[in-house]
Amino acid sequence: MADAETTKNTISATHLGTGGELHQTASSPGARITTNHGAPISDNQNSLKAGGRGPTLLEDFVLREKIQHFDHERIPERIVHARGSAAHGFFELTESLADVTTAKILTEIGKKTEVFTRFSTVAGGAGSVDTPRDVRGFAVKFYTREGNWDLVGNNIPVFFIQDAIKFPDLIHSVKMEADSGYPQAASAHDTFWDFISLMPESTHMIMWAMSDRAIPRSLRMIEGFGVNTFRLLNADGVATLVKFHWRPKLGAQSTCWDEAVKIAGADPDYHRRDLYEAISDGAFPEWEFGVQLFTQEEADALPFDILDATKIIPEEVAPIRVIGRMVLNRNPDNFFAETEQVAFLPTNIPPGIDVSEDPLLQGRLFSYQDTQLSRLGTVNFHQIPINQAKGCPFQNFQRDGQMQTSVPKGRANYEPNSLSEAGEDGGPRAAPKGGFRTTAVPFEGTKARIRSETFADHYSQARLFFRSQTKPEQAHLASALVFELSKVSLEHVRLRVLANLQNVDEDLATRVAAGLDMDLPEKAKAAVEPIDLDPSPALRIVGKYPETLRGRALGLLVTDGANGAIVDALKAAAASEDAKVKIVALKVGGVTLKDGRKLKADAQLQGAPSVIFDAVAVVASEAGCAELLREGAAIDFVKDAFGHLKAIGHTKEAQPLLDKAGVEPDAGVVDLGSGAEAFLKPARTRQWDREPKVRILA
């Protein structure tokens, strides 16, 4: 019998009750520590020994249980997307799609639905850094009233391959090489580019992956795409084709490559920390949710196949209709229980949403369910709290299995049954009305391993992407190709990439060849000659994101004797626009300002290089600047900020530091004597005009 004390001292955890229901138990102060089976532990510091200096006894079940549990703390990491960060939030519908779908999540305006969203890199392991050049996963679990809907997307709207059968090859090629075990979280190596060079269908995705989108500034600043084409189904059984989009309120924003590389050393958790801190500070990241809707007839009229995941439908052709928003407003309580154990399945779709025949999606429909078995170890992974349907009950006749936590009553574990006629609970039944429906798509064909002819154009949209970029973005893309291919030691692979690139754009291929100091080989023969499509400005980042301080971080490097009024003015002005300000000093204890005030530092200079800020200011006294001149980290602070196209504010007294760092005057280098706004204006964006002065781009 549970006495009052044991009830009070239950461990702090989320439990499944016997009926499968979820209930929380709170830990009271001074709660008694117990074994996993509830026995109170009298000593958690010493193992059981035969005498003070004698051997430890096998009998010590407290020690054995604790060590054994620890030994098994790790589970296999995800084969892809292992490195992830997640948050809870809600989705709210602002426009109903009742004409095209019965899905309640897309028809009930104003209803808030709980979501859990996990962002990830793809290639690196769970402990890898946050800022490699890579695709970002963007997976949203909506706990809808009609079952969980998992929209498992990426921050790039296309994919490398057209058919799921190539996925293991793609991933093997990009992961660390099989013999040496490196490089970690990087595509810049032989095997990846070997595979890519032999798969012209990957060319469009390569354009995106080499663009600045693959080095995002923050997870709060990435777009999201469902990638595959889906269907919506209305009450009359009429299907509408759909592509799903997430658009960040802060706009899509990126880092500079050199910056991303340096962030990897300065703060390997840069994106995870940024997301976590934004949410704990109440600066909740938000995305618009949009759809591109089109009929089968409209799809048939397009010059490409909407079942081919290497193609987009330009926004200029099918506009994005914004129908809702997602706000992430709560950090996970426990990384393992939630972020690690969450399992996303493209097969989680509520009635009114349906899949398409995209052969990549078709393979995904199998893969995600399957992979959870090795990762989470049991068919009952849906019972883990983060994976449970929360918006509605789940009930069926699936039974038993490892880690079964629900305790079904009665003997109805099959149907049809007539047990209810005898007064027993007969269990749930199929719901022809309101249940999941499949679009009635007619098919006829010869069974064969074939690729549709309509998938054969591999270059037109790659060209569209490249030609739609601004000049700086084109230069970054070309330079990224030069960087990656410079790490490829097999010359024939580089040549094959150059041969393919000529089908995208001659100028791009020429620039990359020049950057490698190689002659252009003969152009590769295209399966289908690419066509010139109208440029799509929507594909750019530069010039699209809002110029704002919101969501940005400013680093103020302050010295002893500095003018406190300048610091106060900057802090107040930045705070009024929701920017985050961090005081950086030579010592974490802070500085003594000219007016005698003590100003605490948020970070020591060594641990807070300028790469982790969007703009920096050096508020130094003359003596303070003299000290900074002897500190390499201070010189790098401004040198890197200049190289990464950031605004730099400075007191007159700090000028020698700027001179030593090679900072040249331009619109982004501002004397703080001209007031806070003079500095905050350029701090709202990057100084793209400066780039040719600081970097040789391809």
Residues with a catalytic annotation lie at: 81, 154
Contact region with ligand HDE (CB under 6 A), list: 67-75, 152-160, 177-185, 521-529: 152-160
- From candidates 9, 14, 25, 367, binder to ligand HDE by CB under 6 A: 367
Q: Decide whether 162 or 559 has the Cβ nearer to ligand HDE.
A: 162
Dihedral angle over CA of 484, 486, 489, 495, nearest 10: 90
**Residue nearest ligand HDE by beta-carbon distance:** 137
Number of H helices, E strands in the chain: 19, 20
Phi and psi for 119 in degrees, rounded to 5?
-100, 155
148 belongs to the binding site for ligand HDE (CB under 6 A): no
360 belongs to the binding site for ligand HDE (CB under 6 A): yes
The number of residues that bind ligand HDE (CB under 6 A) is 26
Q: How far apart are CA 622 and CA 628, in angstroms?
A: 10
> 582, 604, 690: which is closest to 644 by C-alpha?
690
Q: Decide whether 191 or 228 has the Cβ nearer to ligand HDE.
A: 228
- Kindly list the distances between the CA atom of residue 113 and the CA atoms of 92, 116, 334, 390, in Å, as whole numbers in the listed order: 6, 10, 21, 10
Tokens of 283: 């600066």
- From candidates 62, 78, 90, 679, binder to ligand HDE by CB under 6 A: 78
Q: Decide whether 370 or 506 has the Cβ nearer to ligand HDE.
A: 370
Q: Decide whether 12 or 334 has the Cβ nearer to ligand HDE.
A: 334
- From candidates 184, 371, 406, 417, binder to ligand HDE by CB under 6 A: 371
Q: Decide whether 81 or 262 has the Cβ nearer to ligand HDE.
A: 81
278 belongs to the binding site for ligand HDE (CB under 6 A): no
Sign of the torsion formed by the C-alpha atoms of 345, 347, 352 and 357: positive
> 382, 378, 386: which is closest to 395 by C-alpha?
382
- From candidates 167, 193, 230, 287, binder to ligand HDE by CB under 6 A: 167
152 belongs to the binding site for ligand HDE (CB under 6 A): yes
Q: How far apart are CA 148 and CA 137, in angstroms?
A: 18
- From candidates 125, 251, 363, 521, binder to ligand HDE by CB under 6 A: 363
| Least Cβ distance, residue 387 to ligand HDE (angstroms) | 11
| Least Cβ distance, residue 246 to ligand HDE (angstroms) | 12
Measured in whole angstroms, the distance separating CA 177 from the mean position of its chain's CA atoms is 24
Contact region with ligand HDE (CB under 6 A), list: 153-161, 189-197, 472-480, 508-516: 153-161
> 189, 154, 162, 161: which is closest to 173 by C-alpha?
189
| Least Cβ distance, residue 119 to ligand HDE (angstroms) | 8
Annotate 122-152 with b (16+ C-beta within 10 A) or e (fewer): bbbeeebbbbbbbbbbbbbbbbbbbbbbbbb
Q: How far apart are CA 112 and CA 329, in angstroms?
A: 13
Q: Which residues contact 68 (CB under 8 A, 6 or more apart)?
A: none
- From candidates 90, 230, 294, 368, binder to ligand HDE by CB under 6 A: 368
661 belongs to the binding site for ligand HDE (CB under 6 A): no
| Least Cβ distance, residue 511 to ligand HDE (angstroms) | 29
Q: Coil, helix or strand for 674?
A: helix
164 belongs to the binding site for ligand HDE (CB under 6 A): yes
Q: Decide whether 368 or 679 has the Cβ nearer to ligand HDE.
A: 368
79 belongs to the binding site for ligand HDE (CB under 6 A): yes
> 659, 647, 594: which is closest to 620 by C-alpha?
594
Q: Decide whether 359 or 668 has the Cβ nearer to ligand HDE.
A: 359
- From candidates 107, 121, 154, 687, binder to ligand HDE by CB under 6 A: 154
328, 76 in Cβ contact below 8 A? no
Phi and psi for 434 in degrees, rounded to 5?
85, -10
224 belongs to the binding site for ligand HDE (CB under 6 A): no
| Least Cβ distance, residue 369 to ligand HDE (angstroms) | 8
Kind of pairing between the strands at 648-650 and 615-619:
parallel
Q: How far apart are CA 567 and CA 649, in angstroms?
A: 11
Name the DSSP class of 563. -
Q: Decide whether 102 or 120 has the Cβ nearer to ligand HDE.
A: 120
Q: How far apart are CA 20 and CA 269, in angstroms?
A: 36
344 belongs to the binding site for ligand HDE (CB under 6 A): yes
Q: Coil, helix or strand for 628?
A: helix
247 belongs to the binding site for ligand HDE (CB under 6 A): no
Instruction: For the segment 80-109, give every residue that binds ligand HDE (CB under 6 A).
Output: 80-81, 84
> How many C-beta atoms surround the C-beta of residue 18 within 10 A?
11
246 belongs to the binding site for ligand HDE (CB under 6 A): no
256 belongs to the binding site for ligand HDE (CB under 6 A): no
Q: Decide whether 20 or 385 has the Cβ nearer to ligand HDE.
A: 385
| Least Cβ distance, residue 149 to ligand HDE (angstroms) | 14
Q: Which residues bind ligand HDE (CB under 6 A)?
A: 78-81, 84, 118, 120, 137, 139, 152-154, 159, 164, 167, 227-228, 309, 343-344, 360, 363-364, 367-368, 371
